[in-house]
Amino acid sequence: MLAGVLMSTLAACAGGGEGTKTSHAGRNVGVLLPLTGNNARLGQEMLSAARMAMNTPTAPKLDVHDTTAPGGAAAAAQAAVKAGDGIILGPLTAGDATQAAAMTAQTSVPMLSFTSDVSVARPDVWILGIAPEQQVRRMVGAAVRENRQHFAAFLPNTALGHAMGDALRQSCSEHGLQSPQIMYHGTTAAEITEQLKTFSAFDSRAAAAATQAAATAPAAPVPTGVDPANPDAAATDAPPTPPAQPAEVPLAPPPFDALLLADTGLQLGHVIEGLRAVQVSPTQTRIMGPGLWGAFAGKLAQLQNAWYAAPDPASRQHFVQLFMAQYHHMPTPLADLSYDAAALVKALDQAPRTGGAKNGYSVQALTRNEGFSGVDGVFGFTASGRTRRDLAIFQILPEGGSRMVQAPSGRLQNGTN
């Protein structure tokens, strides 16, 4: 099985460097990364991970190009195509991937980019980053299974916010649900709170609660010292009875039972305060957020019970141990992507050719239904350039931090993208 071959390469890693040179056309693998400039350290680390995956004598040669050299990603991709590389790994960013794709558009050279921006995806350009749509689809499916039916999203007016909103709309459609209520909010605390009042129907909920409180309030007590049969008689000197206080009636739930957020940092704090002000409770409404929350879950106690979707960290422990043993520092999550891409290519290169392909990087091979085993779990490609992933769901704890409440299913999600 190819999936098993991919992970078995982890155990074989002992030293860096490209595989032995070969003259076989189409077997060389282009690698496009930022090796100088602001992202040089990250680019070099990702290159190290790719070399680690390719470290066997029979592995294809890595043909490395710097996307921050003169000409940028376009020139790097052009050089890879000119060199006859059979597949390209990278570039890192959506902008660089777009430039590189323009150079490969008229060729049959597939590209596995490390961005998570789905706008880059197309039938010959696959994105390996964990895209918002993968996270949202996982959480929506789980929320539907716990009988959530009315989805909404309160999102920043940013690229991430719009990507999350589009993903929620599509996921609801896939489950036959009504179109979700989506609002893109402002940036200040005052704007966010006012918008949340409208979004959560706060005024009508508060009015209904006030009406209910008045209707259920006890009758006014007869003042102490007054004879009910003769209320005009003089009162005694007893102290007056305090008026009865109407019972406080909690607000009804908002017009949604699942709410998607995408903020981080200070704006997330404003959103949390706004949710408290309009009485949208994470103990009643299933709040969901981006996988980015995992990096600071310890500070999110006020969002207890909220979900985010991400890979199971236990999946990458063996990779982390081997990387640290070889390079003496903890790998970043992006190193996972470059390792997986190189390991995938190595496995396909060693597999039997299909469809008369001169190498193993055919669309048929890349889009196999069962996908591939990766550092962060199972993943696979669709014909349109999207990536399917098997993600876990994590829940924020009352004291902060998170725990995995739904493990990866062991199979890829069936997406239409």
pLDDT (tens digit per residue) in 28-46: 999 999 999 999 999 999 9
Between the alpha carbon of residue 301 and those of residues 62, 291, 296, 297, 402, the distances in Å are: 46, 16, 10, 8, 9
Give me the long-range contacts of 67-73 (CB less than 8 A, separation at least 24). 67/32, 67/33, 67/34, 67/35, 67/43, 67/91, 67/92, 67/96, 67/100, 68/34, 68/35, 68/36, 68/37, 68/39, 68/40, 68/43, 69/35, 69/36, 72/96, 72/99, 73/32, 73/97, 73/99, 73/100
pLDDT band at 58 (very low <50, low <70, confident <90, very high): confident
Lowest mean pLDDT among 31-40, 246-255, 384-393: 246-255
Task: Read off the pLDDT of residues 93-150 as tens digits, 9 standing for 90 and up.
Answer: 999 999 999 999 989 899 999 999 989 999 999 999 999 999 999 999 999 999 999 9
What is the arithmetic mean of pLDDT over 266-289?
96
**Predicted pLDDT at 2:** 36
User: Residue 190: what residue type?
Assistant: A
- Alpha-carbon span 12 to 6, nearest angstrom: 11
pLDDT at 7 over 80: no
- 77 with 33: CB under 8 angstroms? no
Q: Is the pLDDT confidence value at 270 over 50?
A: yes
Mean pLDDT for all residues in the chain = 87
The residue with greater pLDDT, 229 or 140, is 140
Mean pLDDT throughout 83-99? 96
Tell me what pLDDT residue 1 has.
38
Sheet strand arrangement including 151-156: 181-185, 151-156, 258-261, 286-289, 307-310, 392-396, 402-406
pLDDT-derived band of residue 234, with 50, 70 and 90 as boundaries?
A: low
Span 341-381, pLDDT tens digits:
999 999 888 776 655 555 678 889 999 988 998 999 989 99
Instruction: Indicate whether 168 pLDDT > 60.
Output: yes
pTM over 0.85: no
User: What pLDDT score does 242 carry?
Assistant: 57
Q: What is the pLDDT of residue 240?
A: 60
Task: Identify the band that residue 391 occupies on the pLDDT scale cut at 50, 70 and 90.
Answer: very high
**pLDDT computed for residue 32 by the predictor:** 98
pLDDT band at 49 (very low <50, low <70, confident <90, very high): very high
Section 407-416 average pLDDT? 68
